[in-house]
Amino acid sequence: MCRLQALHRALLPLVLIPALCCPGAPRAQYFELPDLASSADTVMTQGAEARLGKAFMQQVRERLPVLDDPLLTGYIESLGRSLVAAAPDATGRRFRFFLIDEPVVNAFAGPGGYIGVYAGLVLAAQTESELAAVIAHEIAHVTQRHLMRGFEDQSRLSVPATALLVAAAILGAQVSGDAGMAAIAGIQAAAIQHRINFTRENEKEADRIGISTLVRAEHDPFAMAGFFERLSRAGQIHDSAAPEFLRTHPVTANRIAEALERAESYGARQRPDSLRFHLTRARLRERGYDRAEQAVAHFRATLREGRHRNAIAERYGYALALTRARDYRRAEAELGALLAARPSQPEFIVLEAELAQRLGRSDEALGVLSQTLSLSPNDWVIGTVRARLLLEQGRAAQALEALEDLVRLRPDSVMLYDLLERAAIKSGDRAATHRYRAERLYLLGDLEPAIRQLEIALRQRDIPYHDAAQIQARLDMLREEEREQRERDDPLG
């Protein structure tokens, strides 16, 4: 069965209530991801929470397919940032939004402000405000410190050990390949999950603040209640048993009523969905098919029958499917109409460049992107696509230079450091290869291997003095972090 068929099977019943639900609801085949909650507000400093968040994210990347598509990531980050800007108590907090390439109708918040959104949730949301409602709810859990109030009993554990258990509790996954360790971790994670489940008070608070955030961000305040009600109806029809510690409470009639009451206090504020919302959904839907011909058939049928919410986005999905099917003539025809209507739309500009690349017009492909960058030099999405095309064309040195500029804008991007490592390998720069591999490993939470890579980088011959000085300074910084980490983990030393 193709991925999209599986996705449709997951989306139609909408049996998996998102992470914004209270703990304890019946769920279907996909794991529900509970958040963390307890009582005290000063259990963990923000610095410690950031370290735990990085370790947690390492577990996420090991267990879930985090999307590294610049256009998709750019959209979810943009929506997330707009909600953070409108959220009470969000000033000074750092959030990281990312997409997971699985047909699960859910989202979750982890330590350190990491908020994951499943592709299935984006496709299940009927409006952009519904998607925003879920994300606003998750943001509220972070700003109100619901996430970090359940760690009193874990304060004696190291950050990596705590992250393993928290990931097991949130993700509902085994945390070790070793059967004995996995069994132990599973028991501990179940106990943690039982302790840190959101209370109903936490959920009510997150609902209240989430709706307030929706209003401030000029989204529909009724979207949360509407999504609740639709999911609740689906859950009543499609019930499924699950292990007790992986269940969450259903959305009750009282909770829907309370969300409606809050929304009514603000009044109706209808907002048209952005084109980017629809384009993102079309891009996700197209990539959900295993075979290109299936995607082509889907979009051809929906366009012919008018079964779509936005005609421009549906044609974009069709053009993407045709491109994957190597029907470049028809893809260019579809894209030409889209560009005529929206010549500055990033999704269309990227597809224009990728089509030119596929047709062997490499200079034209780069020119399309360079023209956009001349107007918006800090556009990291277009810049990343251009660097990828440079790598495909064998222009590794140019790609390396472009990526080094981009990473200054996004120093925490695993995606960019992965591209930097590849560019350095292809350009034959061994010191840079180890240097950027070290940064990628560091961002993934692998501190000791990152240190080893920097040490190897310094042993390479003919390193320019300035580069060697930078690598040495970074190595000193990571060694100091490693020393501090060891002291925290074993204060008696």
Residues with a known catalytic role: 138, 207
Q: What would the two tokens of residue 364 be?
A: 């034209």
Edge-to-edge strand ranges of the sheet holding 114-118: 96-100, 114-118, 107-110
Report whether 141 belongs to an annotated binding site.
Answer: yes
Helix (H) or strand (E) holding 165: helix 159-171
Half-sphere exposure of 156 (CA within 13 A, CB side): 2
Check whether 249 is labelled as a binding-site residue.
no
Return the closest-CA partner of residue 460 out of 471, 447, 448, 473. 471
Q: What whole-number distance in Å separates Cα of residue 381 and Cα of residue 379?
A: 6
Position 120, amino acid:
G
Instruction: Tell me whether strands 114-118 and 107-110 are parallel, antiparallel or unpaired.
Output: antiparallel
d(Cα 68, Cα 101) in Å, to the nearest integer?
A: 10
Return the exposure string of 15-50: e unless at least 16 CB atoms fall within 10 Å of the residue's CB, then b. Answer: bbbbbbbbbebbbbebbbbbbbbbeeeebbeeebbe
3-state secondary structure of 219: coil
Nearest to 209 by CA among 128, 144, 125, 149: 144
**Is the separation of the CB atoms in 143 and 106 below 8 Å?**
no
Three-state SS at 110: strand
Secondary structure percentages of the chain, helix, strand, coil, to 5: 65, 5, 30
101: left (phi over 0), alpha (psi -120 to 50) or beta: beta
Cα 248 from Cα 18, distance rounded (Å): 9
Kindly give the pairing relationship between strand 96-100 and strand 114-118.
parallel
Which token pair is 1? 């069965």
Contact 383, 413 (CB under 8 A): no
Buried b (16+ CB within 10 A) or exposed e, 317-334: bbbbbbbbbebeeebbeb
Dihedral, CA of residue 451, residue 454, residue 459 and residue 462, to nearest 10 = -170
Q: 203 among the known binding-site residues?
A: yes
Distance in angstroms (rounded) separating the CA atoms of residues 61 and 110: 13
- Collapsed DSSP state (helix, strand, coil) of residue 450: helix
Please tell me the total number of residues recorded for the chain in this structure: 493
CA triple 171-278-319, angle to 5 deg:
105
Q: What's the rounded Cα separation, in Å, for the pair 339 and 356? A: 14
Known binding positions: 137, 141, 203
Known binding positions for Zn(2+): 137, 141, 203
